[in-house]
Structure 1
Amino acid sequence: MSNYNPLPQSEPESGPVPPPYTEERTAGDNIPDDFKYSTNVSECLVDLRHMFIRKVYSLLTLQILGTIITGFIIRSSPSIQNWCFNNIWLWIVSMVGSIGFLVSTLYKARSYPTNLILLSGFTLCEAYGIGLATATVESGVVIQALELTLLIFVGLTIFAFQTKYDFISWQGFTSMGLWVLIGWGFLFMFFPQHLSTAELIYSGLGALIFSIYIIIDTQKIIKTCHLDDEIPATISLYLDIINLFLFILRILNNDRRD
């Protein structure tokens, strides 16, 4: 496949020209050719920006609904829960499949409709794991965690769209915090009988980090993403929401046990 770059190769006064994409969208998009390549959403016409944002949040809504429905099915019957817990191999398959589908989806992010098929597989694998994680938690706690997560997400999204402060510059510090969180989580694996206070601090830090990630990834959508990056943008927000939900669930569940 030949590369196509409609921009000149010289570097104008505004800065270096972004490199051309090496893979074109194969079918099914309605983005004008003049805007398909090396064009940030922020540089496009208002209609094109709105079209991109609608695509991202429509896909994200479908992912969230699919995750909720899968979790509800697993929780709906004790026999289904018993089967899932007695066939732990399926959980392992979903974990491996989630990584595999994630990599494949990002690799084929601009190949329609392959990208949507792979995105569906990724969402299904993630939803199964989330369903098992919430199966042993009281329904009231799960519903409360879901409501808080959606409320926080909507509030942070509105804030990210309205504020003029650039949170993208925070990404380096947030990534460092995420690695600290991962290391702390490994310690919990070796010392499962930790204090509830340590669990509360860990969960609170995790909720804070992924709240900031929601703002960062939302601002990327309106500032740095390209018009055909709706799949990577959707995945980023979906993972932010899922992780925020899990940490809020841990906070509420820990509080309920105490």
Structure 2
Amino acid sequence: MYGFERVSSSYDGGMKGDIEEGTLYPGIGFGENQLRWGFIRKVYGIISAQILLTTLVAGVTVLYAPLNEALKGSSGILLFFVFLPFLLLWPLHAYQQRHPLNFIFLGLFTASLSFPVAVSCANTDGGIVLEALILTSAVVSALTGYTFWAAKKGKDFNFLGPILFTSLVILIVTGFIQMFFPLGSASTAVLSAISAIIFSGYIVYDTDNLIKRFTYDEYIWASVTLYLDILNLFLTILRMLKQAEN
């Protein structure tokens, strides 16, 4: 009898350990944990498709000279693709739960963002672009892994929201000021470093929201926020590497 109790206790403890091994954060139920993992996999699948689309558009733009020259030679077309994503944010948010409109607007949003990224890559040495891709992948992987580990340990990053938003507004205003009153190379380098820190913070903050706060119907909006975090971090690292090269 005592031996049976020991075997039973060992089995229960092992099963509990197996369940808790993939627990996202303390206090979440087993069923909720499984549903949340499914939601997370869905969001990262969409983000992977967005990154693949951006890579394809950038590759075609860089390799197909007429398209590249048309984008670089016409500031009006380039400005159109710069502002189009902002216009698409409203229908994307309004129809995020309406299939297939949500994926149609998501595809348009991703494609429109891909063209300015493609122009940035076309105007940069290929080695620098590859280095920026590797660094961005390393930073995103490290920050994502840390956030999942920290959430499992009971840490919460919701407090970063107001700090990051305020920092982003200051960064945008500074960018507009710089258009009319250009800063020196040292100030620009510092500004780029601050930008990288802000977008790294957003990756942690939005990943934490993905784990705990986004509802299951918000998979499109969760994908958009993390995709923008990754894209902005890549462009910031690319700009820093170009400045260092120059």
What's 2:119 paired with? 132
What's 2:22 paired with? none
Task: Find the aligned partners of 1:84 and 1:182 in 2 and give their Cα distance.
Answer: 24
From the two aligned structures, give the one with the greater helix fraction. Answer: 2
Q: With the length of structure 1 as denominator, give the TM-score of the two structures.
A: 0.79
Among 205, 211, 233, which residue is 2:222 paired with? 233
Task: Find the aligned partners of 2:29 and 2:233 in 1 and give their Cα distance.
Answer: 27
- Alignment map for 1:204-219 (pairs within 5 Å): 204-219=193-208
Cα 1:177–1:96 change in 2 (3 A) is closer
Q: Greater shift after overlay, 44-53 or 212-221?
A: 44-53
How many residues of Structure 1 are paired with residues of Structure 2 in the alignment?
Answer: 216
Among 102, 105, 110, which residue is 1:123 paired with? 110
* Identity in percent: 31
Give structure 1 regions of 4+ aligned residues with deviation exceeding 3 angstroms: 41-44
- Alignment map for 1:50-199 (pairs within 5 Å): 50-163=37-150, 164-192=154-182, 194-199=183-188
How far off is 1:119 after superposition?
0.3
Q: Which runs of 5+ in 2 are unaligned?
A: 1-27
Q: With the length of structure 2 as denominator, give the TM-score of the two structures.
A: 0.83
1:65-109 deviation digits (Å, cap 9, x = unpaired): 111111111111433321222333332332332122221111111
How far off is 1:127 after superposition?
0.5
Give the match's secondary structure for 2:148.
Answer: helix
Q: Greater shift after overlay, 164-173 or 122-131?
A: 164-173
Would the aligned equivalents of 1:42 and 1:49 in 2 still touch at CA under 8 Å? no
Q: Which runs of 5+ in 1 are unaligned?
A: 1-40
- Alignment map for 1:33-52 (pairs within 5 Å): 45-52=32-39
| Structure with max Cα Rg | 2
Among 237, 241, 246, which residue is 1:252 paired with? 241
What's 2:12 paired with? none
Letter of the 2:221 partner, please give it.
P
Cα 1:141–1:44 change in 2 (3 A) is same
Would the aligned equivalents of 1:42 and 1:224 in 2 still touch at CA under 8 Å? no
RMSD: 1.7
Cα 1:144–1:42 change in 2 (3 A) is farther
Would the aligned equivalents of 1:42 and 1:222 in 2 still touch at CA under 8 Å? no
